[in-house]
Amino acid sequence: MITWCSFNNVARTVISALVAAALTLGAWTPAGASSRIKDIVEIEGVRDNLLVGYGLVVGLNNTGDTLANGHFTKQSLQSMLNRLGVKPTDAGLSSKNVAAVMVTAVFPPFARQGKRIDITASALGDSKSLLGGTLLVTPLLGADGEVYAVGQGQVAVGGFSATGQAQTVTKGVPSSGRIVNGAIVEREIGFQMANMTKVKLALRNPDFTTARRVAQAINAFLGTSAAAVSDPGTVHVLVPENYDSVVNMITDIEQLRVEPDQLARVIIDEHSGTIVMGENVRISTVAIAQGNLTIRITETAQVSQPSPFATVGATTTVQRTQIDVDEGADNKLTVVQTGVTLQELVNGLNALGIGPRDLISILQAIKGAGALQADIEVL
């Protein structure tokens, strides 16, 4: 018989256990955590592999390779027909419906025999479009030269090309297409995780602080010192005795949340004028003035002709030149205070009325002056 006193004792025990669990949860979950471990690390051995192959696409609507120019396409077509018992002559190989292609695929981890994967076919010769074509049986090889998959199927092209006498319209890249589930896995990559006693976690963005936070979160959750940081990009984790396999341990720890840290960095792509700045970018007090010298030269052709009924003179063309010089006299000097946030930095630079191209030069000048506490990476 359960008495009220014993019920209260059980309730207090349950509440104490819940409070202890909550305190433990708070111990291994940092304040403001934003990312799961599985989103910022990669597991050793769990990786993709690249496959490549050479094949032929047939059934094109007169948009294939020119066999007279594409010798490899002609040789491949002859070799394929010979294997099928057909002995074509050189004069008989004049079709424009065949194209040589390179076939690529990504072999996912732990792909088993019979699994289908997506493949991409890209024209190798002078084919104008692969629209409507069919890829014939193509072995896909790995870096070791072994065949891991075989591809075949209808090529799906997202673009098109239409040509007339005076105009050509092209959308996308019609010389490349994709075949969904177009290859069948024939060989597996041997990798067993069941007998592993430890595992390596590789950070996608190596960082000392992030690696330490990952190790601390794992140790707090497991209750042991199983995780250790060997370098900014690697965390070693030993499988505790209470886990029967490394898979179960990974399943638990990959759901833990940590707050990744990052370097203060400015990424500049001078080709497109793109600028990306991290939230930790800070600058010291600096005065910025931006002015461009713009010279605009306008040439205007005017016609000069003699007066009516004049007996001498001829009509001629006279060039009139107008030169305008803008020295940027209206541009002002802007002071950006120390320790400003990213938003304040952007607002201060935008107050100068400058574009991305000029902003690149300004950021590089601030870095040269030693006032930018961030790394600049130019792509």
Q: Which single residue is written with the structure tokens 């994967």?
A: 117
- Six-digit token string for 96: 């424009």
Cα gap 133→175, rounded to integer Å: 11
**In this predicted structure, what is the pLDDT of residue 230?**
92
Query: What pLDDT, on the 0 to 100 scale, is given for residue 194?
Result: 76
Residue 18: the pLDDT is 41
* Contact assessment for residue 151 and residue 125, using Cβ atoms and an 8 Å cutoff: no
Letter string b/e over residues 264-291, b meaning 16 or more CB atoms within 10 A of that residue's CB: eebebeeeeeebebeeebbbeebebebb
Residue 233 structure tokens? 């990009």
In order along its 379 residues, the chain shows pLDDT tens digits of 444 444 344 444 444 444 344 434 444 444 444 789 999 999 988 889 999 999 999 999 888 888 877 678 888 888 888 888 888 776 667 788 999 999 999 999 989 999 999 999 999 988 888 998 999 999 999 999 999 999 999 999 987 777 676 677 777 788 899 999 999 999 998 888 878 889 999 999 999 999 999 999 999 999 999 999 999 999 999 999 888 888 889 999 999 999 998 888 888 887 777 778 777 777 777 776 666 545 455 667 677 777 776 666 677 777 676 666 555 555 555 555 566 665 666 666 666 666 677 777 777 887 887 777 788 888 7
Which amino acid appears at position 80 of this protein?
Answer: M
Helix ranges (H only) for the chain are: 4-28, 37-40, 71-83, 208-222, 246-253, 342-350, 356-368
Nearest of 102, 85, 87, 168 to residue 140 by alpha carbon: 102
Give the H or E element holding residue 56. Answer: strand 49-58
- Which amino acid is residue 122, in one-letter code? S
To which residue do tokens 């600096």 refer? 286
One-letter amino acid of 313: G
8-state DSSP, 245: -
